[in-house]
């Protein structure tokens, strides 16, 4: 192949690529994915920004760049079940491609919306006992995610307490069943 023919092919390829750029840009825009995130912490919480930064950094490492090929809509509910319920309904109405639920209090109202939108949870205690998934390996339905505690951890915490303070004979546990109903499952010492 002669040098002139090679240059001509490169020129045609370059020209074809330039002509295709607007089409590719349009395809990129139409490929924009929408993520909804329901957080069980307050937006003003000191750890909220750190959590969002970590999430968005790892999301970007997977190829999803906020503003480029995805947008993320956050809703913050703190530990307020009524606010979380309203925020869950609002997120479902926005019809994102996927919803991230941070914490059990955020997952509870999302499950009640009976949506078919895929939901990925994190920091959820006992997702099987709470009825969010059938099992960790085969969650079924549109919900999957990561648990932060094994249900048997309550017994292990009690054993650690007994190991460091063997004379302890009575232990009291306090929790708010409205904001952390899953804590009851941690108390079932087997």
Check pLDDT > 90 for residue 39: yes
pLDDT of residue 181: 64
Of 42, 119, 67, which Cα lies nearest the Cα of 88?
119
Distances in whole angstroms, Cα of residue 72 to Cα of each of 15, 100, 113, 119, 179 = 36, 10, 20, 14, 25
Check pLDDT > 60 for residue 32: yes
Which is more confident, 180 or 124? 124
Q: How many CA atoms lie within 13 A of 81 on its CB side?
A: 10
**Range with the largest mean pLDDT of 7-16, 19-28, 152-161, 180-189:** 152-161
Check pLDDT > 70 for residue 37: yes
Domains in the chain, please, with CATH?
A: 31-148 (3.40.50.2300), 153-186 (no CATH)
Task: Give the 3-state secondary structure of 88-135.
Answer: HHHHHHHCCCEEEEECHHHHHHHHHCCCCCCEEEEEEECCCCCCCCCC
pLDDT in tens, 41-97: 999 998 999 989 999 999 899 999 999 999 999 999 988 999 999 999 999 999 999
Which is more confident, 99 or 148? 99
Percent of the chain with pLDDT over 90: 48
Which residue matches tokens 């999957």?
144
């Amino acid at each position: 192949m002669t040098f002139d023919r090679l240059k001509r092919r490169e020129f045609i390829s370059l020209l074809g690529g330039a002509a295709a750029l607007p089409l590719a840009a349009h395809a990129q825009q139409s490929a924009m994915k929408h993520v909804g995130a329901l957080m069980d912490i307050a937006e003003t919480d000191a750890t909220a920004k750190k959590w969002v930064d970590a999430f968005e950094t790892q999301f970007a490492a997977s190829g999803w760049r906020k503003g480029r090929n995805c947008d993320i809509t956050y809703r913050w509910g703190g530990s307020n079940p009524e606010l979380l319920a309203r925020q869950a309904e609002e997120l479902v109405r926005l019809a994102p491609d996927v919803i991230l639920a941070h914490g059990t209090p955020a997952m509870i109202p999302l499950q009640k919306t009976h949506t078919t939108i895929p939901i990925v949870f994190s920091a959820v205690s006992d997702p099987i006992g709470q009825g969010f998934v059938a099992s960790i390996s085969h969650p079924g339905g549109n919900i999957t995610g990561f648990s932060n505690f094994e249900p048997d951890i309550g017994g292990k915490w009690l054993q650690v307490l007994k190991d460091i303070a063997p004379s302890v004979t009575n232990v009291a546990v306090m929790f708010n069943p409205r904001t952390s109903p899953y804590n009851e499952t941690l108390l079932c010492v087997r």
